[in-house]
Amino acid sequence: MSDHPQNDHGHHHDHDHDKTFQPDHAEPTSEAAHIGLALRELLLEAGHYTLAEERAVMTRMQGASPENGALIAARAWTDPAFKDRLLSAGNAAIGELGFDLAPTEFTVLENTDTVHNVVVCTLCSCYPRALLGMSPAWYKSKAYRSRVVREPRQVLHEFGVELSGDVAVRVHDSTAELRYMVLPQRPAGTEDWSLDQLKTLITRDSLIGTQRDLSIG
C-alpha cells in the first residue's frame, strides 16, 4: 500500500457521467402509449411515411428554439417593411428568413402601448414548435390553459406582468390551424443597437406573452 489515503484514487474524475447521464424512457404501460406505438408502426408499415422522414422531422424539431423567434422579432424592430409583411402574412415573411411552418398559418401579434397579447391553447397544447422548439411545461398545464382565458390579468400578474387599466389584454386561443408568436415592444434605450444585440433581449416567455417588458440589463 502506498502512503496515500485510501479514498484518494490518484487521478481526477474528469469524465462526465453527471453531464451526459439520461434515464431511460419509461417502458410504456398505459393503453394510450401502446396504441401510440402500434399506430406509428402501422403508419410506417403502410408507407405513410418513412423512417428517414421521421428522423428529419425530429432533427428539425430539436433544432428549433426561441432564438428563431428572437431573430424574427429583432428583424421586425429594425426593418419596418419586414414588420408590415410579418404582421399581414406571417408565413411568407418568415420564409424570407428560411423558416417554414406551413400548412399552419404563422400569425404574429404586436404588443403596443395600449395592447398586450398572450397566447394559449385551451384544447391541447398547440405551439409553433417547429419554429420555437418545445413549449414550456406550464404552457401545457391545465391551470394555465383554463385560467388565462378567464382571468388573464391575474395569471399575468403571477408571471410578473403588471398592466394598467389603459392596456387592453388580448388572449389568443390557438384552437385550429394558426400558430402564434407575440412581437414584444422594443425597449427604450436600444435605438443604436445592432440586430445581433437586440436578439439577445428577446425571451421565450415574451414571445408567448407571459412577459411584457424586456430588460436591457
Partner 1 sequence: MTSPRFFVGQAVRIAKRQPSVHHRVPAYAKGARGVVERVCGEHGQPERFIRGDGAPATRLYRVRLDQRELWDNYQGSTDDCLDIEIFEHWLEPA
Instruction: List contacts with partner 1 (CB under 8 A).
Output: 103, 105, 114, 122-123, 149-154, 165-178
Task: Tell which phi-psi region holds residue 194, choosing left (phi > 0), alpha (psi between -120 and 50) or beta.
Answer: beta
User: Cβ 114 to partner 1, closest distance in Å?
Assistant: 8
User: Cβ 96 to partner 1, closest distance in Å?
Assistant: 20
User: Cβ 112 to partner 1, closest distance in Å?
Assistant: 12
Whether 121 is catalytic? yes
Residue 67 or residue 173: which is nearer to partner 1 going by CB?
173
Residue 88 or residue 197: which is nearer to partner 1 going by CB?
88
Catalytic residue among 124, 141, 146, 194: 124
Q: Can you tell me which residue has the cell 406551413?
A: 102
Q: Can you tell me which residue has the cell 426561441?
A: 66
Residue 151 or residue 213: which is nearer to partner 1 going by CB?
151
User: Cβ 101 to partner 1, closest distance in Å?
Assistant: 13
Whether 2 is catalytic? no
Distance CA 19, CA 29 (A): 28
Distance CA 115, CA 15 (A): 51
Cβ neighbors of 210 (< 8 A, separation 6 or more) are 118, 155, 156, 159, 161
Least Cα distance to 85 among 186, 75, 98, 174 occurs for 75
Residue 74 or residue 93: which is nearer to partner 1 going by CB?
93
Catalytic residue among 2, 30, 88, 121: 121
Whether 125 is catalytic? yes
Q: What angle do CA 165, 152, 149 make, to 5 degrees?
A: 135
| Residues marked as catalytic | 121, 124-126
